[in-house]
């Protein structure tokens, strides 16, 4: 999985490319988010436009950090999840836990 991290207006914008699933993809994203949260950056937007699939391991990672960032006054927001990613999040009952945006700008501005 390719992971690109930028900081915009005090928001960590994480762009993913490839399936988010058990193994190196989930391990690498966990490390990126842990580093951000460890530095006090708890306002995170994750762009999923190029993520065709999220497995239960990836979902577990997202909801775990959603809870921990919210506890610190932050949030994890999702940008442009694919139709199948949305379907998967809905099937396991966590879709409504997340705020979802059509583009990076809207997600970043929502933290203001």
Partner 1 sequence: MTAESSDPGQWFDLLDLSVPADRKAIAQATDTISETLTSFEVPEEKRLQIALAVQEALANAVVHGCKNDPSKEVRCRLKRNSQGGILVTITDPGPGFSPLQLMDPQQPGRLYADHGRGVSLIRQLMDEVDFEHGGNQITMRKY
Compute the C-alpha angle 78/22/89, nearest 5°: 35
CB of 38 to partner 1, least distance (A): 18
Determine, following the binding rule CB under 8 A, whether residue 94 of this chain makes contact with partner 1.
yes
Q: Structure tokens of 13?
A: 């914008």
Q: Of the ranges 3-11, 32-40, 41-49, 90-98, which one interacts with partner 1 (CB under 8 A)?
A: 90-98
Beta strands 2-8 and 11-17: pairing type?
Answer: antiparallel
CB of 37 to partner 1, least distance (A): 15
CB closer to partner 1, 5 vs 63: 63
Residue appearing with tokens 């690109």: 4
Determine, following the binding rule CB under 8 A, whether residue 31 of this chain makes contact with partner 1.
no
Determine, following the binding rule CB under 8 A, whether residue 23 of this chain makes contact with partner 1.
yes
Determine, following the binding rule CB under 8 A, whether residue 52 of this chain makes contact with partner 1.
yes
Among 3, 5, 17, 22, binds partner 1 (CB under 8 A): 22
Determine, following the binding rule CB under 8 A, whether residue 59 of this chain makes contact with partner 1.
yes
CA distance 33 to 37: 6
CA distances from 97 to 24, 25, 63, 75 (A): 25, 22, 8, 11
């Amino acid at each position: 999985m390719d992971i690109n991290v930028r900081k915009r207006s005090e928001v960590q914008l994480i762009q993913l490319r490839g399936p988010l699933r058990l193994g190196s993809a989930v391990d690498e994203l966990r490390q990126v988010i842990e580093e951000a949260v460890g530095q006090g950056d708890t306002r995170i937007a994750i762009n999923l436009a190029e993520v065709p699939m999220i497995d239960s391991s990836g979902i577990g990672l997202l909801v775990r950090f959603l809870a921990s960032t919210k506890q610190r006054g932050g949030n994890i927001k999702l940008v442009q999840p694919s139709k199948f990613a949305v379907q998967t999040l809905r099937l396991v009952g966590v879709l409504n836990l997340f705020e979802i945006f059509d583009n990076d700008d809207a997600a970043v501005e929502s933290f203001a």
